[in-house]
Amino acid sequence: MIVYTPIDISINIPDGDVLKEYFFNNYMTNLKETFGYTSLLCALISRNSVTDWRDATQVFADHTDSDLFYAPNVKEIFPELIEFVHTLPYKEIIGAVLNLHTEYLPPHQDEFINLNVDGPERYNVLLTPHYEQESFFICKDKNSEKIYPKILKEYPVYAFSNNKVFHGADKVLNERIILICAGILDEEKHDKLIKASSEKFKDYVIRF
């Protein structure tokens, strides 16, 4: 079973200084005390009509809206990221956040959308130049060997399995930021993209 593959989608990466300035001005301030999550998250898209985008309880509340809501000015500041999220093989976009981890993340499976998919079902993008640093890892279970996927500079979009295996991250300095996307998959389009990408990047695919 494929558990990791680079994805054959091109993306324009935002200016690093602009990205970091936006992140540190807008990340959610109550994430750890409300959800126990130790990384810093900055929400870009939500299914909730949020009045305070720094309040994790609003961003991650059970959504009842059919519309997508965007953080203030995000479409103007990061049009390339918004465009990218809309190119992913989703029937329905749920949300997107920027993630910066500040400490070691042990092997885990996120409480995420329950996607009954064999293989990669999570789409992320490495937005900062940390391609040669081993941080993100995948393992069969919580106590097995950590495998560090290769994230490509030319193709920084990748997909991995959250539901079938475990993942985590070693602490990395220099403010490593990734884009995490969430949505209900269009399984036919998703399977086609994973198949084409895993064939193109076969030297970097991880299978368990």
| Model confidence band, residue 113 (pLDDT cutoffs 50, 70, 90) | low
Query: Mean pLDDT, to the nearest integer, of 126-137?
Result: 92
User: Which pLDDT score is estimated for 171?
Assistant: 83
Class at the top of the CATH hierarchy for domain 2-207: mainly beta
Residue 66 pLDDT grade (very low, low, confident, very high; cuts 50, 70, 90): confident
Strand segments (E) across 105-196? 105-108, 122-126, 136-139, 157-160, 166-169, 178-185
Average pLDDT on 122-133 reads 93
Q: % helix / strand / coil in the chain, to the nearest 5?
A: 25, 25, 50
Q: How many residues does the chain have?
A: 208
Q: What is the pLDDT of residue 88?
A: 97
Give the per-residue pLDDT at 65.
Answer: 65
Confidence (pLDDT) at 208: 92
Judge whether residue 112 has pLDDT over 70.
Answer: no
Instruction: Using pLDDT thresholds of 50, 70 and 90, give the confidence band for residue 133.
Output: confident
Question: Confidence band (pLDDT; 50, 70, 90) for 174?
Answer: confident
Alpha carbons within 13 angstroms on the beta-carbon side of residue 20 total 7
Residue (of 169, 23, 31) closest to 103 by Cα position:
169
* Per-residue pLDDT at 16 exceeds 70: yes
Read off the pLDDT of each residue in 49-75 and give the average, rounded to a whole number. Answer: 91
DSSP assignment letter at 141: S
pLDDT the model gives residue 172: 76
Residue 138, CA atoms < 13 Å, CB-side half-sphere: 23
* E-only strand ranges, 26-121: 40-46, 69-70, 90-100, 105-108
Q: Which pLDDT score is estimated for 200?
A: 98
* Beta-sheet pairing, 157-160 with 122-126: antiparallel
- CB 131 within 8 Å of CB 152: yes
Neighbours of 132 (CB within 10 A): 8
What is the domain partition of the chain in residue ranges?
2-207
Tell me what the mean pLDDT of segment 133-147 comes to: 93
pLDDT of residue 25 exceeding 80, the answer is yes
Mean pLDDT of the chain: 93
pTM here?
Answer: 0.95
